[in-house]
Amino acid sequence: MDQIQSVSFIGSGNVATHLALALKKAGLHINEIYSQSHENAMALAQKTGGKAIRTIEELDPLVDLYVISIPDGAIKHVMQNFPQVQGIVVHTSGITPVNVLEILPHYGVFYPLQTFSKKSKLDMCSVPFCIEASSKEVLLKLKKVASMLSPSVFEISSDQRQYLHLAAVMVNNYSNYLFRMAFDILETKGIDHTLLMPLIEETISKIKSLHPAVAQTGPARRKDTETIEKHLQLLEEHQDYKELYKIFAQQLTKKYNEQL
């Protein structure tokens, strides 16, 4: 196998879109794009100079790299109809093991540890790429492609990757939900939520130099049950947020008083 020069995409969602655009920008040729939504495939094809195809069987078997970037539940289904290709086939999932692709001769994982939205631009240079491969040769090729996009390229096993994915859900999905809770609470009271932005920024800034276990502050850490009770009263209108608040407070109170 020579160096990877051409890429086809299976999927046209957030990750596929960002990756296809970045790979094109890096000088690779985007061949075909297959997607359950042909409309989305056409949109991405137009942006990348690729060709939208209607069935997976139409994939050109002579492309160097095939990137499967679709919901986890759909990967197995796509594999059933996947043509026998000599190029490398990768998926971009955090949680699906690499061996779901093992019926193919060359395969791997190309997992960008980042949150992607079609709507927001993203600096690909800061994205860590987690690579896994069916052979050393494939590994080198995938690392080379990844390093065209970002200086952060890591060899990560399927086992490690699933923990990274879990951790990513916590720091991204769930902290985003906490931000939403906080914004909702303020909006209900007519208070501008942008007041919280400096605090949010500082929260992140702090953990760059201080482990979050050390950086932890607040009523639950100092076992200030009076403040916790007041907060719970304020949450009467938001029973779901109250439930979540309570568990955080319980765990933090317990954790920091066991430690002291």
User: How far apart (Å, rounded) are the C-alpha atoms in residues 90 and 242?
Assistant: 42
Of 84 and 217, CB closest to a second copy: 217
CB of 227 to a second copy, least distance (A): 5
Q: How far is the CB of 93 from a second copy (least distance, A)?
A: 9
Q: What are the strands of the beta sheet with 88-91, ordered from one edge?
A: 51-53, 29-34, 6-10, 65-68, 88-91, 107-112, 129-133, 153-155
Q: Within positions 110 to 149, which residues make up the interface with a second copy, using CB under 8 A?
A: 113-117, 119-120, 122, 126-128
Residues 6+ apart with CB under 8 A from 26: 148, 149
Ordered DSSP codes for 174-192: IHHHHHHHHHHHHHHTT--
Instruction: Name the residue nearer to a second copy (CB basis): 51 or 246.
Output: 246
Alpha helices in the chain (DSSP H): 14-25, 38-48, 72-80, 136-149, 158-168, 175-188, 197-209, 212-215, 225-234, 239-259
What are the phi and psi torsion angles at 255 (to 5°)?
-60, -45
Residue 165 within binding range of a second copy, rule CB under 8 A: yes
Binding to a second copy (CB under 8 A): which residues in 39-58? none
| Stretch of 4-12, 34-42, 55-63, 157-165 contacting a second copy, by CB under 8 A | 157-165
Residue number, 58 or 229, with CB nearest to a second copy: 229
Which lies closer to a second copy via its Cβ, residue 29 or residue 238?
Answer: 238
With CB under 8 A as the contact rule, the residue among 136, 189, 259, 260 that binds a second copy is 189
Q: Footprint of a second copy on residues 200-229 (CB under 8 A)?
A: 200-204, 206-213, 215-222, 224, 226-227
* Nearest residue (CB) to a second copy, 106 versus 143: 143
- CB of 7 within 8 A of CB of 133? no
